Amino acid sequence: MQLKAVGQGVQRLDINQKVRGTRKYPQDFNMEGQLYAKVVWSAHPHAVVKRIDTSVAEALPGVVRVITYRDVPVNEYGINIYDQPVLVAPRHLAGGGQGGGKVRWVGDRIAIVVAESERIAAHARDLVQVEYEPLPVVDDPRRAMQPDAPLVHENRESNILKHIVIRRGDVGLALAHADVIVEGYYTTHHVEHAYLQPDAALGFVDDESRIAVISSCQWPADDLHQIAHMLNLPEDQLREIVPAVGGAFGGREDMHIQHLAALCAFVLRHPVKIVFDREEVTQRTGKRHPFYMRYRTGATRDGRLIAAQVELISDAGAYASTSIPVLGNAATFALGPYKIPHARVDAYTVYTNNAVTMAMRGFGATQPPFGYESQMDKLAEVLGMDPVELRMKNLLDVGDIAVTGNVMTAETGVKETLRRAALAAGWREEDGHWIKPDLGTPSAPYKRRGIGVAVAYKNVGYSLGFEDKATAKVELALDESGEIARVVVKVAAVEVGQGVLTALAQIAADTLGVDMDKVRLALVDTSETPDAGSSSASRHVFISGNAVAGAAAQAKEKWQTILREETGEMHVEAEYTFRGRSVRPTTPFDPETGQCEPHISYSYATQIALVEVDVETGQTEILEFWSAADAGKVINPIMYFGQQAGGVHMGVGYALTENYIQQEGRPRARRFSEYHIPTVMDMPRQFESIAVESAPDPNGPFGATGLGETPTLPTAPAITNAIHDATGVWIESLPANAERVWRALRAADKL
Amino acid sequence: MLLKMTLNGEPVSVEIEPDDLLAQVLRDKLGLIGTKIGCGEGECGACTVLVDGVAVTSCIYPAMKAHGRRVETIEGVAKDHELHVIQQAFVDHAAAQCGYCTPGFIMAAKALLDTNSHPTREEIVAGISGNLCRCTGYYQIVEAIEDAARRMG
Amino acid sequence: MWQNYLFPATVQEALELLAHHGGQARIIAGGTDLVLQSQRGQCAATVMIDITRIPGLDAIEERDGYITIGCQVTHARIAASPLIRQKAEVLALACGSVGGPQTRNVGTLVGNVVNALPAADGAVALFALEAEVEMVDASGRRWLPIAEMYAGVGECTINPCAQLVTTVRFRPLSDGWASAYQRLANRKALALPILNTAVVVGLEDGVCREVRIAIGPVAPTPFRAREAEAALVGQTPDAEAIVRAARLAADAADPRDSILRGSRDYRKAMVEVLVRRALTEAVTKAMP
Last residue of a domain, one of A556, A582, A608: A582
Domain map (residue ranges) of chain C: 4-49, 60-170, 177-286
Distances, alpha carbon A157 to alpha carbons A98, A143, A149, in Å: 16, 15, 11
C41 interface with A at CB cutoff 8 Å: no
Q: Are residues A222 and A118 in the same domain?
A: yes
| Residue of A616, A657, A743 with shortest CB distance to C186 | A657
Residue A296 within a domain: yes
List chain A residues with CB under 8 Å of C191.
676
CATH number of residue A51's parent domain: 3.90.1170.50
Measured in angstroms, the CA of A53 and the nearest CA of chain B are apart by: 30
- Interface test with chain C among A666, A676, A745, by most C beta carbons within 10 Å: A676
- pLDDT digit string (tens) for A640-683? 999 999 999 999 999 999 999 999 999 999 999 999 999 999 99
CATH code for the domain defined by C177-286 = 3.30.390.50
What pLDDT, on a 0 to 100 scale, did the predictor assign at position A100? 64
Looking at chain B, which residue has its C-alpha nearest residue C34?
Answer: B60
Q: In what order do the strands lie in the sheet with A238-242?
A: A63-67, A109-115, A35-41, A272-275, A200-205, A211-215, A238-242, A524-525
Q: What crossing angle do the helices spanning C264-286 and A738-747 adopt, rounded to 10°?
A: 100
B129 interface with C at CB cutoff 8 Å: yes
A668:C192 CB<8 A: no
**Mean confidence (pLDDT) of chain C:** 97
Whole-number percent of chain A with pLDDT over 70: 99
CATH code for the domain defined by B2-74 = 3.10.20.30
List chain B residues with CB under 8 Å of A194.
134
Interface list for C 65-84 with B (CB within 8 A)? 76
Measured in angstroms, the CA of B44 and the nearest CA of chain C are apart by: 9
Looking at 1.20.810.10, 1.10.3720.10, 2.160.10.10, 1.10.150.120, the CATH number of the domain B85-152 comes to 1.10.150.120
List chain A residues with CB under 8 Å of B139.
641, 645, 683, 687
Q: Is the pLDDT of residue C79 over 70?
A: yes
What pLDDT, on a 0 to 100 scale, did the predictor assign at position A152? 96
Name the residue with higher pLDDT: A99 or C284: C284
Instruction: Count interface pairs B-C at CB distance under 8 A.
Output: 76
Q: Is the pLDDT of residue A562 over 50?
A: yes
**Mean confidence (pLDDT) of chain A:** 97
Pairing mode of beta strands A519-521, A484-490: parallel
Q: Are residues A457 and A325 in the same domain?
A: yes
> In b/e form, how buried is each residue of C217-238, taking b as 16+ CB within 10 angstroms?
bbbbbbbbbeebbebbeebebe
- pLDDT digit string (tens) for A442-468? 999 999 999 999 999 999 999 999 999
Q: Are residues A389 and A246 in the same domain?
A: no
CATH number of residue A455's parent domain: 3.30.365.10
List chain A residues with CB under 8 Å of C186.
657, 676, 737-738
DSSP helix, strand, coil percent of chain A (3-state; round to 5) = 30, 30, 45
Question: In chain B, where does the domain assigned CATH 1.10.150.120 lie?
Answer: 85-152
| Residue of A16, A642, A648 with shortest CB distance to B91 | A16
Q: Are residues A431 and A509 in the same domain?
A: no
Query: Could you tell me which chains touch chain A, where touching means 3 or more CB pairs under 8 A?
Result: B, C
C207 interface with A at CB cutoff 8 Å: no
| Residue of C2, C52, C103 with shortest CB distance to B42 | C103
What pLDDT, on a 0 to 100 scale, did the predictor assign at position A95? 55
Q: Is the pLDDT of residue A416 over 50?
A: yes
Residue A370 within a domain: yes
A40 vs A233: CA distance, rounded Å? 25
Q: Classify domain C60-170 by CATH architecture.
A: 2-Layer Sandwich (3.30)
Q: Are residues A374 and A420 in the same domain?
A: yes
Reported confidence tier of residue A187, pLDDT bands at 50, 70, 90:
very high
Q: Are residues A363 and A501 in the same domain?
A: no
Looking at chain C, which residue has its C-alpha nearest residue B127?
Answer: C101
Q: Are residues A686 and A706 in the same domain?
A: yes
Measured in angstroms, the CA of B17 and the nearest CA of chain A are apart by: 11
- pLDDT digit string (tens) for B124-136? 999 999 999 999 9
A19:B46 CB<8 A: no
Q: Which residues pair with C144 in a beta bridge?
A: C133
What pLDDT, on a 0 to 100 scale, did the predictor assign at position A1? 74
B62:C50 CB<8 A: yes
Q: Which of A398, A395, A453, A404 lies closest to A424 in space, CA to CA?
A: A453
Q: Which of A321, A284, A291 lies closest to A161 in space, CA to CA?
A: A321
Q: Are residues A656 and A573 in the same domain?
A: no
What pLDDT, on a 0 to 100 scale, did the predictor assign at position A751? 84
B96:A18 CB<8 A: yes
Last residue of a domain, one of A284, A315, A334: A284
A683:B98 CB<8 A: no
C269 interface with A at CB cutoff 8 Å: yes
Measured in angstroms, the CA of A9 and the nearest CA of chain B are apart by: 9
Where would I find the beta strands (DSSP E) of A331-407? 342-351, 357-358
List chain B residues with CB under 8 Å of C102.
42, 45, 48, 55-57, 108, 130
Question: In chain B, where does the domain assigned CATH 3.10.20.30 lie?
Answer: 2-74
B130:C101 CB<8 A: yes
Q: How many domains does chain A have?
A: 3
> In b/e form, how buried is each residue of A625-649, taking b as 16+ CB within 10 angstroms?
bbbbbbbbbbbbebbbbbbbbbbbb
Measured in angstroms, the CA of A680 and the nearest CA of chain B are apart by: 6
What pLDDT, on a 0 to 100 scale, did the predictor assign at position C265? 97
Query: Could you tell me which chains touch chain B, where touching means 3 or more CB pairs under 8 A?
Result: A, C
Rg (CA), chain A: 26
What pLDDT, on a 0 to 100 scale, did the predictor assign at position A276? 98
Q: Is the pLDDT of residue A99 over 60?
A: no
3-class secondary-structure state, position A372: helix
Domain boundaries, position A107? 31-135+193-284
Q: Are residues A67 and A200 in the same domain?
A: yes
Q: Is the pLDDT of residue A94 over 80?
A: no
A739:C191 CB<8 A: no
A672 interface with B at CB cutoff 8 Å: yes
Q: What crossing angle do the helices spanning A500-512 and A545-565 adopt, rounded to 10°?
A: 30
- pLDDT digit string (tens) for B6-51? 999 999 999 999 999 999 999 999 999 999 999 999 999 999 999 9
Q: What is the dihedral of CA A349, A355, A356, A360, to 10 degrees?
A: -90
Reported confidence tier of residue A97, pLDDT bands at 50, 70, 90:
very low
Q: What does the pLDDT average to over B78-90?
A: 95
Q: Are residues A642 and A574 in the same domain?
A: no
Whole-number percent of chain A with pLDDT over 90: 98
B40:A499 CB<8 A: no
Q: Is the pLDDT of residue B80 over 90?
A: no
Q: What is the CA A636 to chain-centroid distance, rounded?
A: 21
C269:A742 CB<8 A: yes
Measured in angstroms, the CA of C172 and the nearest CA of chain A are apart by: 30
C58 interface with B at CB cutoff 8 Å: no
Query: Could you tell me which chains touch chain C, where touching means 3 or more CB pairs under 8 A?
Result: A, B
Q: What does the pLDDT average to over A65-87?
A: 96
Interface list for C 89-118 with A (CB within 8 A)? 100
Residue A2 within a domain: no
Reported confidence tier of residue C122, pLDDT bands at 50, 70, 90:
very high
Reported confidence tier of residue A411, pLDDT bands at 50, 70, 90:
confident
- SS3 sequence of chain C: CCCEEECCCCHHHHHHHHHHCCCCEEEECCCCCHHHHHHCCCCCCCEEEECCCCCCCCCEEEECCEEEEECCCEHHHHHHCHHHHHHCHHHHHHHHCCCCHHHHHHCEHHHHHHCCCCCCHHHHHHHHCCCEEEEEECCEEEEEEHHHHEEECCEECCCCCCCEEEEEEECCCCCCEEEEEEEEECCCCCCCEEEEEEEEEEEECCEEEEEEEEEECCCCCCEECHHHHHHHCCCCCCHHHHHHHHHHHHHHCCCCCECCCECHHHHHHHHHHHHHHHHHHHHHHHCC
Name the residue with higher pLDDT: C160 or C173: C173
B130:C52 CB<8 A: no
What pLDDT, on a 0 to 100 scale, did the predictor assign at position A96? 47
Q: Are residues A118 and A255 in the same domain?
A: yes
Last residue of a domain, one of A268, A284, A300: A284
Residue A494 within a domain: yes
C5:B19 CB<8 A: yes
DSSP state of B34: T
Q: Are residues A479 and A375 in the same domain?
A: no
Residue A170 within a domain: no
ipTM: 0.99
Distances, alpha carbon A306 to alpha carbons A19, A173, A463, in Å: 53, 10, 26
Residue A629 within a domain: yes
